[in-house]
Amino acid sequence: MSLRAFVSILRPINCSMIGFAVIVGAFVSKPAAIDAAALLLGFVTGFAICGYSMVINDYYDIEVDRVNQPDRPLPSGAITLRGALGLAVAMLAIGVLASIVLLNWAAVAVALLYAFLSWLYNHRAKKYGLPGNLIVASSLAIPFIYGGIISGGSVTSSLLLFMAGTAFLSGVGREVVKAMADVMGDEKRGIRSFARVHGLKQAAALGAGFFLASVVSSLLPLLLLSVSLFYRFGVIIPDLVFIYLAYAILSRPTADRALRVKKQALLGMLIGLIVFIGGAF
């Protein structure tokens, strides 16, 4: 397995974002004290289980990727199916063990739930379109809640819930738009994505709606809560990104545009996470 293939199938940027979301959740929950070791283990749990999710996604999607992305590690032969399965199991074990070391059974339960939802989506739920999109998006919200659990803070903190909700809404939008670029391959696996069932225009409208809903969710703390100046002004940047993405996919609801919007949405999420980190302080 080459380093390039390893990085491609693991998607470390995505995994790092999940790991940092755990840390953000820990700070936003306002614990009495911050345990650096718990934060590190929380990051490892988020990163590793996300890595597991990325690998099994490619494992189950190999036939789809033969059509949509034949240069991916599995369809190109850069990684064998057996090698991918071994890597997935290793990442899952690392993530679960890191949560066990925390000696917090609520954290272990959430980590196992996160892993189960990842498997459920890739094994079965992905075929049902929007319900599968909701499951994927929940995996973007769970890390914030997990961070609150491992820190001993309040998992019902208003700002924490708004952040988790914003991540969820933007995640649903990205998944709906992402499926617009995969219609041909999805047909091969029998995946009833919203785009495949209702058409690209309807999918673009739904995806844009979720993007705009995430903008509203991110702005509500400005009206309802006391937030830092960094969050108050910084949130404008990712919000402008998602407003633009909503316009971009609505103005041209094609597979090519969807592929671009999918990648740009990840950048918007990364900027949003940085703003959340600032908001945590």
Going from N- to C-terminal start, the domains of the chain cover: 1-152, 157-281
Q: Can you tell me the mean pLDDT for 199-212? A: 97
User: Which CATH superfamily includes the segment(s) 157-281?
Assistant: UbiA prenyltransferase (1.20.120.1780)
Angstrom distance (rounded) from CA 218 to CA 275: 10
Exposure of 185 in the CB half-sphere (CA atoms within 13 A): 20
Q: Is the pLDDT assigned to residue 170 strictly greater than 90?
A: yes
Q: pTM score, two decimals? A: 0.89
Angstrom distance (rounded) from CA 115 to CA 123: 12
Please tell me the predicted confidence (pLDDT) of residue 186.
76
122: Cβ contacts below 8 Å, ≥ 6 apart: 53, 56, 57, 59, 60, 61
Cα 4-8-13 angle, rounded to 5 deg:
115
124: Cβ contacts below 8 Å, ≥ 6 apart: none
Please tell me the predicted confidence (pLDDT) of residue 248.
97
Cα 177-124-214 angle, rounded to 5 deg:
30
pLDDT band of residue 250 (cuts 50, 70, 90) is: very high
Q: Is the pLDDT assigned to residue 68 strictly greater than 80?
A: no
| pLDDT digit string, tens, across residues 210-227 | 999 999 999 999 999 888
Going by CATH, does the domain composed of 1-152 fall within 3.40.50.1820? no
20-34, 35-49, 91-105, 235-249: which range is least confident on average? 20-34
Averaged pLDDT score across all residues of the chain: 91
Please tell me the predicted confidence (pLDDT) of residue 165.
95
